[in-house]
Structure 1
Amino acid sequence: MGDKKKTRKGSPPIKVYCLPDERDLIEANARAAGMSLSAFLLAVGQGYRITGIVDFEQVREMARINGDLGRLGGLLKLWLTNDVRTAKFGQSTIRALLHRIESSQNELSQIMKSVVRPRADP
């Protein structure tokens, strides 16, 4: 018989008794760190310090901006393919569209810089 690789699932668990409000807080901290409850407790229990969380409001804002960029890119693509729906687009409209794309990219970049990915530092 070959040696079986040891896994966490095959090892005995550590049980922690806590009050409901304590569990709620631990679960909220794990969610805020972007980790499962098990991964969060394992990391913290081994001395890792959770250094950052993702602000879900910022993530929603990035998703909104990404959607805007997709729609603006679609309009630009229609114009570049001489689609009849964009026949009335003049140079000023295209310049405004390109400016809007650039502004959205800058906005997205600023939000991305402010978001800290969850990491467990040793």
Structure 2
Amino acid sequence: MVQKRLLHLRVPVTLDEEQEIRTKARDTGLSVAKYMRMVSLGYLVPSAIDNQQVEKLLRINGDLGRVGGLLKMWLTNDVRLKISSKAEIEATLVAIRTTQNAMLDAILELRNKKTNT
């Protein structure tokens, strides 16, 4: 049986604190009341931002896998996949580096958000 919440607590906060609490609650996908209740009772509050970053990293990782697979096919010496120029290899390597940099940026962004909370 779920117990109905009938009591309300008042917590004085500054305008900055209120905004920060509302932002953190929104970032977790929780109402302010549920967020404050979970934090106050010592529960681990899931972060929607963390989940978004993980999804972003997974997409980038998938891109890297596809680019790596293409490069591997090129290197098998299959006549149908013959590399026509050195520029194609260089373009593929640039794509890999770009994707790696995007992944690194996403990881650093996630780490910075964790550090600032």
TM-score of the two chains, using structure 2 as the length reference: 0.54
Give yes or no for contact 1:54–1:115 (8 Å, CA) kept in 2: no
Higher helix share: 2
What secondary structure sits across from 1:115 in the alignment?
helix
Identity %: 35
- Residue in 2 that maps onto 1:103: 98
The one-letter code of the counterpart of 2:92 is L
**Is structure 2 residue 40 aligned with structure 1 residue 53?**
no
**Could you tell me which of 64, 71, 85 is aligned with 1:69?**
64
Root mean square deviation, CA, Å: 3.8
Q: Partners of 1:54 and 1:115 in 2: how far apart?
A: 12
* Structure 2, unaligned runs of 5 or more: 7-24, 30-36
* Structure 1, unaligned runs of 5 or more: 1-14, 20-28, 34-39
What secondary structure sits across from 1:18 in the alignment?
coil
Q: Partners of 2:107 and 2:44 in 1: how far apart?
A: 22
Residues 44 and 68 of structure 1, relative CA distance in 2, 3 Å threshold: same
How many corresponding residue pairs? 88
Moved over 4 A (4+): none
TM-score of the two chains, using structure 1 as the length reference: 0.52
**Could you tell me which of 28, 31, 37 is aligned with 1:32?**
28
